[in-house]
Structure 1
Amino acid sequence: MDNEKSYHGCCFCGAVQFTVTGEPVEMGYCHCESCRHWSAGPVNAFTLWKPEAIKVTQGADNIGTYNKTPASYRKWCKTCGGHLFTEHPGMKLIDVYAALLPALPYTPQVHVHYQETVLPLKDGLPKIKDLPKEMGGSGESMDE
């Protein structure tokens, strides 16, 4: 990873800082109810990374965790409440919210959990009912 590109991110107040190195496994949009409620938005822009690609460089002791389900461990800054990541143990991936990586060229490839959308988007990207098969879902496509 020494010669790979790194991207810096932080929480809202800057107390927690981190880097991600390399390239994300996937980038896209999640429309599930949990992500919508957590992000307080109609859709969540995600970047999925292998755990070893993420390094907390400041404020690790200031990270809180909440898991509504065993599939997602949501992380936030205890000082400002700014959202940071969501660990997905079953997929062995961590979602770093795209908005926290401003220098990363965000190139979404897919919409997931599109059956739950409250904001239909017609952007030509594949719309998956739940998750792609390789991530444990049905892989079933939906129309825009």
Structure 2
Amino acid sequence: MSTTTYKGSCFCGAVELSVSGEPEAMGYCHCDSCRHWSAGPVNAFTLWKPEAVEVTKGMDNLVSYNKTPKSYRKWCKTCGGHILTEHPELGLTDVYAAILPELPFKPGVHVYYQEKVLRVHDGLPKFRDTPEDIGGSGITLEE
């Protein structure tokens, strides 16, 4: 059985990565940090086990910032294109959905919906923070 691999890159192509297999989860984050980082009203995420993510080009061009120990955000120092966020406490890496053009994005959840600035009516669960199994309250909100 072969493993599916998806490739992505930063805005200028100086940093490339690949992800293998299937993501652990896909969805939308509405938290203030992700909105500021992405410069948008919502951030589409794909969560992977760290061993499924490999920077294949430009590792020396990748820089990092962590506002909190929960998230290590990484981007290309040439173009500023965002690549991924490592979440060590969760044991997961978020590779931004927008940089994986071939991945069929199938969101299953909205997290931190309490912080939303854009209402979304799509029938997906809307968590106040995150599901219980990853340390959140598990409380859901109305669309």
Please state which band the TM-score falls in when normalised by the shorter chain: over 0.9
- Which residue is 1:76 aligned to? 75
For normalisation by structure 2, the TM-score amounts to: 0.99
Structure 1 residue 3: Cα displacement: 1.6
Structure 1 residue 103: Cα displacement: 0.3
1:6 aligns with 2:30: no
- Which residue is 1:138 aligned to? 137
Q: Deviations over 1:9-29 (max 9, x none)?
A: 000000000100000000000
- For structure 1, the 5+ residue unaligned runs are none
- Which residue is 1:24 aligned to? 23
Distance in 2, Cα, partners of 1:95 & 1:135: 14
Alignment of 1:104-123 (within 5 A): 104-123=103-122
Identity %: 66
Distance in 2, Cα, partners of 1:130 & 1:53: 26
Q: Alignment partner of 1:74: what SS?
A: strand
Distance in 1, Cα, partners of 2:13 & 2:115: 33
Q: Give structure 1 regions of 4+ aligned residues with deviation exceeding 2 angstroms.
A: none
Which letter maps to 1:21? S
- Which residue is 2:45 aligned to? 46
1:57 aligns with 2:56: yes
Distance in 1, Cα, partners of 2:59 & 2:134: 28
Distance in 1, Cα, partners of 2:131 & 2:63: 29
Which letter maps to 1:45? A
For normalisation by structure 1, the TM-score amounts to: 0.98
- Which residue is 2:87 aligned to? 88
